[in-house]
A = this chain, B = another copy of it.
Amino acid sequence: MVKVSRSFPSNKIEVLYAETYAYPPWVKALLHTPLKGMSVEDVSGLDFLLGELYAEYALRAIQSAGLEPEDVDAIGSHGQTLLHLPGGRKLGERTVRSTFQVGSGAVIAHKAGILTVSDFRSADIAAGGEGAPLVPVFDYVLLRSSKKSRVALNIGGIANLTAIPRKARLAEVIAFDTGPGNCMIDTAVRLRAGEESASGEDGGTASEPGGALAHLGKGAVFDRDGAQSFDRDGALARVGEIDDDCVEEVLAHPYFARKPPKTTGWEEFGVEYTHGLIEGMAARERSTRDMARTFTEITGATIANAIEDFVRPEMDVDEVIVTGGGSRNSMLMGLLKKRLPEIPVDIGEAQGIDSDAKEASAFAYLAYLRLEGIAANIVSQAAGSDPALLGSISEPA
């Protein structure tokens, strides 16, 4: 739950309440179905099922916060991404760019009894953008300063950053995905634990009203239900050794040389890609801890390189503020500090930003921007796309 006051871009954004709900195991199982095994009936059903669940989570969060549904002006729901194809795919005679999230806004609005903004990425794709990243406008409003030039770094499955020069105007913000966040490390740990896993973005957080806005999860949290499915605090990596061949192979991936703005995803650095690397290392008799160490090294290196190569030539960087699951991996945080010796690297909590609530708060804020009629796709606009109002509005009667 966030409360938004004052006017754009000088909004004050106050997090009133935040909570993360895990999908029930049977829903996780449905979402783990490889896309190839998903029928149109499944897709249609998931759209409504997740809409129902998100409404239930929203109402539960509102109750836990000691509020009433009437206190909430709007829900912002990202939905569960099934596909994100901004690069386009041939369909008949056209190449069609698309993105596809399920979790029907119409269902959420009716079941929760609260106006709902959903489907944030489609309008940006239609406007010529990549449909991502969308959070930079939130980073900008939250972190811009008259004294410091800041980089907001979010390490989820994929890592992305928003660089905000001191006294920046909106158009001066630099934002892009740096590459893998936790996705490679997680994949290695899961696979080696014999646990085959499909994909999944960050999130699953339902949060925040109060004359205010509630946000519904960006995706499933496949990691937070007990099973060892990630390298907690880098414990494995810490006792492993680096596989230089693997590091070299990944750093040669053309994504890292591409100039921003640019976005990537699990499609590029997720299970399939990581599989191949793991097989290579297994052939070289590397242990799981070596793999965890190697992927942690790669993640730290690609993030630090991105800041060195694409941010520092454009602006001073007075501090890097890290959020997302990766910010709780002290091994990874240590690597970043070592690779960026001149820049203070700190976790979001040090700035009063609750990592668990950030994505949720961002989409609640994006709902506010949609209702205010403010085009929030600033990264795409910087790259030459049209302004777009992100999200469609569904309302209860």
Q: Does A397 contact B (CB under 8 A)?
A: yes
Q: How many of chain A's residues have a CB under 8 angstroms from any CB in B?
A: 60
Nearest CB on B from A8, distance (A): 14
Q: Do A45 and B91 touch (CB < 8 A)?
A: yes
- By beta carbon, the residue of chain B nearest A97 is B48
Q: Does A145 contact B (CB under 8 A)?
A: no
- By beta carbon, the residue of chain B nearest A91 is B45
Q: Do B99 and A44 touch (CB < 8 A)?
A: yes
For A48, give its contact among B27, B92, B96, B109 (CB under 8 Å): B96
Copy number in this complex?
A: 2
Contacts known (A106-B122, A397-B375); A40 close to B45, Cβ less than 8 A:
no
Within A21-71, which residues are at the interface with B (CB < 8 Å)?
24, 26-27, 29-30, 35-36, 38-49, 51-52
Q: Do A96 and B45 touch (CB < 8 A)?
A: yes
For A104, give its contact among B35, B94, B104, B122 (CB under 8 Å): B122
Nearest CB on B from A135, distance (A): 19
Q: Do A96 and B49 touch (CB < 8 A)?
A: yes
Measured CA separation A106–B393 after assembly (Å): 10
Nearest CB on B from A54, distance (A): 12
Q: Does A20 contact B (CB under 8 A)?
A: no
For A126, give its contact among B111, B125, B393 (CB under 8 Å): B111
Measured CA separation A216–B44 after assembly (Å): 22
- By beta carbon, the residue of chain B nearest A85 is B44
Within A352-374, which residues are at the interface with B (CB < 8 Å)?
373
Q: Does A165 contact B (CB under 8 A)?
A: no
A residues sitting closer than 8 Å to B (CB atoms) are 24, 26-27, 29-30, 35-36, 38-49, 51-52, 82-83, 85, 89, 91-94, 96-100, 104-107, 109-111, 118-119, 122-123, 125-127, 373, 375, 386-389, 392-397
Kindly list 18 other residue pairs between chains A and B, CB separation below 8 angstroms, not including A40-B43, A44-B98.
A30-B91, A40-B100, A42-B91, A43-B43, A43-B100, A45-B96, A47-B98, A48-B125, A52-B96, A104-B122, A106-B119, A106-B392, A107-B122, A109-B123, A118-B392, A373-B395, A375-B397, A389-B396
| 22 A-B residue pairings within 8 Å (CB atoms) | A26-B92, A36-B39, A40-B83, A41-B89, A44-B85, A44-B99, A46-B91, A47-B100, A48-B96, A48-B97, A49-B91, A104-B122, A106-B122, A107-B122, A107-B125, A110-B386, A111-B126, A119-B392, A388-B396, A388-B397, A389-B395, A392-B392
